[in-house]
């Protein structure tokens, strides 16, 4: 099996998934711009890498590279990780029968009336869409995509990737005894950070040791106004963008993702759960699946300040329950979102596509 993987970059799970496929005998040529540490891992595992930045959906150089690699490397399957790369693949292979698989991480933004959708996920040349969650798969069913093109495969992780010494709370002006509610995100309106700030603000007088820690850049003026008017400025802590955001999760007693819509499986919640930090999420997209529909984390309705405040209060008042949810969440990542399981399932899908392509 010889696979051309096309993407802008790869994250840590994707790099390890590709490494796992190569250990199963799959030849992989990566076309894109992987980070140096991930490129090194792929090369050490036997992958070929061609660096190219897909600047738009009609990238002529990218299309030419795809055709060249397919021809010279005898590629019999394309796996596209980015929309731009997928469009260029569809255009570049317009007269060829090489099967195309792709990855889908969010709900929404597809339409049979949108020409750009026909160049990506709705194009009949795309034989399999690997959905990050069942919520994404159901969205594709709802817009009448053929069932045989849809498969749910969770992106696998390994909790050992996230083991590290916790940072000092003092470095962030957090009292040692504080109960810290954390959120790691690029803070855009859809992420619901405004709802989280309001929920925490409503609890400050009632819960004297409650603090809020926001990790990531702020891209929403509403959030900036809420921070400026926060009742007790010493109890809200802003880190900005941090390369060590994964490790900062362990500073928190609970992690929250209050997204309002279109959420897949937020990386920050997976990383926090992998380190035993309990999660509160909204009933949006794939997040209920991530926390086992409430068995390994708490779920609240989106855009509901009162419900989110109630959930935070309940864990503040019941620290043992919070610790138990943290243990259950970590176990869920280890058992359900395991990288070895992902590799096994993807290998099966790829093998099926290659064999079907050979028959055609």
Quote the mean pLDDT of the chain: 94
Does residue 163 surpass a pLDDT of 90?
A: no
Q: What is the pLDDT of residue 321?
A: 97
Question: What is the DSSP code string of 264-311?
Answer: ---HHHHHHHHTT--EEEES-TTHHHHTGGGTSSEEE-TT-HHHHHHH
Indicate if the alpha-carbon torsion angle 17, 334, 178, 259 is positive or negative. positive
Residue 185 tokens, joined? 């995100």
**pLDDT tens-digit map of 186-238:** 999 999 999 999 999 999 999 999 999 999 999 999 999 999 999 999 999 99
How far is Cα 102 from Cα 315, in angstroms, rounded to an integer?
39
How far is Cα 346 from Cα 155, in angstroms, rounded to an integer?
10
Average confidence (pLDDT) over 237-248: 93
Question: Under a CB-based contact definition with an 8 Å cutoff, are residues 210 and 203 in contact?
Answer: yes
Binning pLDDT at 50, 70 and 90, where does residue 358 land?
A: low
Residue carrying the six token digits 């999420």: 281
Is the same domain home to 318 and 223? yes
Does residue 359 surpass a pLDDT of 60?
A: no
Binning pLDDT at 50, 70 and 90, where does residue 94 land?
A: confident
Binning pLDDT at 50, 70 and 90, where does residue 264 land?
A: confident
Is the same domain home to 53 and 144? yes
Is the same domain home to 183 and 126? no
Helix (H, G, I), strand (E, B) or coil at 257: strand
What's the CATH code of the domain at 331?
3.40.50.2000
Residue 339 tokens, joined? 């990288």
How far is Cα 306 from Cα 48, in angstroms, rounded to an integer?
52
Is the same domain home to 248 and 129? no
Q: 212-234: b or e for each residue (b if 16 or more CB lie within 10 Å)?
A: bbbbbebebeebeebbeebeeee
Residue-range definition of the domain harbouring residue 168 = 159-336
Helix (H, G, I), strand (E, B) or coil at 210: strand
Is the same domain home to 144 and 205? no
Is the same domain home to 173 and 299? yes
Is the same domain home to 112 and 235? no
**pLDDT tens-digit map of 24-61:** 999 999 999 999 999 999 999 999 999 999 998 899 99
Is the same domain home to 152 and 231? no
Is the same domain home to 163 and 312? yes
DSSP state for residue 204 in the 8-state scheme: T
Average confidence (pLDDT) over 236-255: 94
Is the same domain home to 151 and 223? no
Is the same domain home to 251 and 291? yes
Q: Bridge-partner residues for 282, per DSSP? A: 300
Question: Under a CB-based contact definition with an 8 Å cutoff, are residues 130 and 101 in contact?
Answer: yes
Count how many domains the chain has. 2
Q: Bridge-partner residues for 32, per DSSP? A: 51
CA 263 to centroid of chain Cα atoms: 9
Q: Is residue 21 within a helix (H) or strand (E), and if so which, with residue range?
A: helix 12-23
Residue 305 tokens, joined? 């300040």
**pLDDT tens-digit map of 97-154:** 899 999 999 888 899 999 989 999 999 999 999 999 999 999 999 999 999 999 999 9
Q: What is the pLDDT of residue 108?
A: 84
**pLDDT tens-digit map of 292-346:** 999 999 999 999 999 999 999 999 999 999 999 999 999 999 999 999 999 999 9
Question: Under a CB-based contact definition with an 8 Å cutoff, are residues 105 and 132 in contact?
Answer: yes
Is the same domain home to 131 and 96? yes
Residue 231 tokens, joined? 């009742």
Q: 13-36: b or e for each residue (b if 16 or more CB lie within 10 Å)?
A: bbbbbbbbbbeeebbbbbbbebee
Q: What is the pLDDT of residue 34?
A: 92
């Amino acid at each position: 099996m010889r696979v051309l993987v096309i993407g802008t970059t790869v994250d840590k799970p994707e790099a390890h998934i590709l490494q796992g496929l190569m250990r199963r005998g799959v030849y992989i040529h990566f076309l894109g711009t992987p980070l140096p540490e991930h490129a090194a891992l792929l090369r050490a595992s036997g992958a070929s890498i061609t660096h190219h930045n897909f600047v738009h959906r009609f990238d002529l150089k990218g299309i030419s590279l795809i055709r060249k690699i397919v021809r010279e490397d005898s590629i019999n399957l394309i796996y596209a990780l980015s929309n731009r790369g997928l469009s260029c693949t569809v255009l570049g292979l317009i007269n060829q029968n090489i099967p195309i698989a792709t990855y889908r991480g969010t709900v929404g933004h597809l339409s049979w009336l949108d020409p750009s959708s026909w160049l990506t996920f709705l194009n009949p040349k795309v034989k399999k869409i690997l959905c990050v969650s069942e919520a994404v798969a159901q969205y594709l069913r709802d817009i009448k995509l053929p069932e045989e093109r849809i498969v749910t495969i969770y992106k696998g992780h390994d909790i050992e990737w996230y083991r590290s010494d916790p940072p000092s709370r003092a470095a962030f002006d957090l009292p040692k005894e504080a109960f810290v509610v954390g959120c790691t995100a690029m803070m855009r309106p859809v992420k619901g950070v405004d709802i989280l700030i309001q929920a925490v603000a409503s609890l400050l007088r009632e819960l004297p040791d409650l603090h809020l820690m926001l990790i990531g850049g702020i891209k929403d003026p509403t959030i900036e106004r809420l921070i400026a008017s926060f009742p007790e400025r010493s109890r809200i802590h802003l880190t900005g963008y941090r390369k060590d955001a994964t490790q900062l999760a362990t500073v928190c007693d609970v992690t929250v993702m209050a997204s309002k819509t279109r959420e897949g499986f937020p990386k920050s919640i997976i990383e926090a759960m992998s380190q035993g930090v309990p999660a509160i999420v909204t009933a949006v997209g794939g997040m209920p699946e991530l926390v086992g529909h409430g068995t390994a984390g708490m779920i609240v309705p989106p855009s509901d300040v009162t419900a989110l405040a109630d959930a935070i209060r309940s864990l503040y008042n019941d620290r043992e329950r919070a610790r138990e949810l943290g243990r259950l969440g970590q176990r869920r990542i280890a058992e359900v979102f395991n990288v070895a399981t992902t590799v096994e399932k993807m290998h099966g899908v790829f093998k099926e596509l290659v064999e079907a392509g050979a028959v055609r």
